[in-house]
Structure 1
Amino acid sequence: MMMPPGTSLLGGDDILEGLPPSTHRYQYECEQQFLDVMFREHDLWSRGETNEFVVFINLDERTFHRGFLESSEKLINNSWQSYSSLSQCLHARMKTGTHEELHFAFYDLLREKLVPMGLGHSLHRQGGRTTSGGPKGKQADNGLYPRRLPPGRTDKWPSVVIEVAFSESKTKLRCDLDWWLSQSNGDVKTAISLSTNKSKREIIIEAREMVEGSKGRAPALQQQVVIRKQTADSITSVTNAPFTIAFESLLLRPTTQPAEGDLELTEDDLQKLAEEVWETQSFRDRTMEMGDHLSEDGM
Structure 2
Amino acid sequence: MASLPTSAATSAPTSIMTPSGPTPPDDEPTIRYTRVDELFQVLNRVPGDVLIVTHVRPRNFSTMERERDSRRRRFRFRYYASSQVLVITLPTWVHEQLHAHLYWHFMQKLVRIGVEDSWVSIGSPTYRTPGHPSGDVGESDSSGGPEPERLGPNEWPTLVIEAGDSKSLNLLRQDMRWWFDASNHKVKIVLLAKFDRSRREIRLENWEEEAQVVRPGATTTRSVAANTLAPVLRQSITITQNAASPPSYNVVRGALVLSFRLLFLKDPGPGEGDFAFSIPELRVYAERVWSVV
Q: Shorter-normalised TM-score: what interval?
A: 0.7 to 0.9
Could you tell me which runs of 5 or more consecutive residues in structure 2 were left unpaired when the two chains were aligned. Answer: 1-6, 13-24, 215-223
Give the SS at the match of 1:128. coil
Q: Conserved in 2, the CA contact under 8 Å of 1:173 and 1:193? A: yes
Paired with 1:187 and 1:118, the residues of 2 have a C-alpha distance of 24
For residue 246 of structure 1, what is the aligned residue in structure 2? 259
Matched, 1:208 2:207: yes
For residue 292 of structure 1, what is the aligned residue in structure 2? none
Deviation at 1:39, TM superposition (A): 1.4
Residues 1:179 and 1:197: Cα distance change in structure 2 (over 3 Å): same
For residue 169 of structure 1, what is the aligned residue in structure 2? 168
Matched, 1:230 2:226: no
Give the SS at the match of 1:268. helix
Q: Which amino acid aligns with 1:87?
A: S
For residue 263 of structure 1, what is the aligned residue in structure 2? 275
Give the SS at the match of 2:148. coil
CA RMSD, aligned part only?
2.8
Paired with 1:220 and 1:100, the residues of 2 have a C-alpha distance of 25
Deviations 1:124-154 (A, max 9, x none): 2333311122521111111211232179x98
Paired with 1:205 and 1:7, the residues of 2 have a C-alpha distance of 27
Q: Conserved in 1, the CA contact under 8 Å of 2:11 and 2:30? A: no
Paired with 2:167 and 2:95, the residues of 1 have a C-alpha distance of 14
For residue 140 of structure 2, what is the aligned residue in structure 1? 140
For residue 194 of structure 1, what is the aligned residue in structure 2? 193
Give the SS at the match of 2:115. coil
Q: Which has the higher helix share?
A: 1
Q: Conserved in 1, the CA contact under 8 Å of 2:122 and 2:144? A: yes
Deviations 1:45-102 (A, max 9, x none): 5xxxxxx432223333234224315722222xx3242113333332213320011112
For residue 28 of structure 1, what is the aligned residue in structure 2? 34
Alignment of 1:277-296 (within 5 A): 277-281=289-293
Give the SS at the match of 2:286. helix
For residue 8 of structure 1, what is the aligned residue in structure 2? 10
Matched, 1:53 2:54: no
Give the SS at the match of 2:137. strand
Matched, 1:102 2:98: yes
Question: In terms of mean alpha carbon deviation, does 90-99 or 214-223 score higher?
Answer: 214-223
Residues 1:6 and 1:142: Cα distance change in structure 2 (over 3 Å): closer
Deviations 1:162-212 (A, max 9, x none): 100037601111111112123322211111101111234311111111122
Paired with 1:278 and 1:131, the residues of 2 have a C-alpha distance of 31
For residue 64 of structure 2, what is the aligned residue in structure 1? 67
Q: Conserved in 1, the CA contact under 8 Å of 2:209 and 2:231? A: yes
Question: In terms of mean alpha carbon deviation, does 155-164 or 61-70 score higher?
Answer: 61-70
Residues 1:22 and 1:262: Cα distance change in structure 2 (over 3 Å): closer
For residue 19 of structure 2, what is the aligned residue in structure 1? none
Paired with 2:29 and 2:232, the residues of 1 have a C-alpha distance of 26
Deviation at 1:236, TM superposition (A): 1.7
Q: Conserved in 1, the CA contact under 8 Å of 2:50 and 2:167? A: no
Give the SS at the match of 2:70. coil
Q: Conserved in 2, the CA contact under 8 Å of 1:150 and 1:252? A: no
Matched, 1:273 2:289: no
Residues 1:139 and 1:157: Cα distance change in structure 2 (over 3 Å): same
For residue 297 of structure 1, what is the aligned residue in structure 2? none
Q: Conserved in 1, the CA contact under 8 Å of 2:28 and 2:167? A: no
Q: Which amino acid aligns with 1:163?
A: E
Paired with 2:154 and 2:273, the residues of 1 have a C-alpha distance of 23
For residue 38 of structure 1, what is the aligned residue in structure 2? 43
Paired with 1:232 and 1:148, the residues of 2 have a C-alpha distance of 47
For residue 83 of structure 2, what is the aligned residue in structure 1? 87
Residues 1:239 and 1:6: Cα distance change in structure 2 (over 3 Å): closer
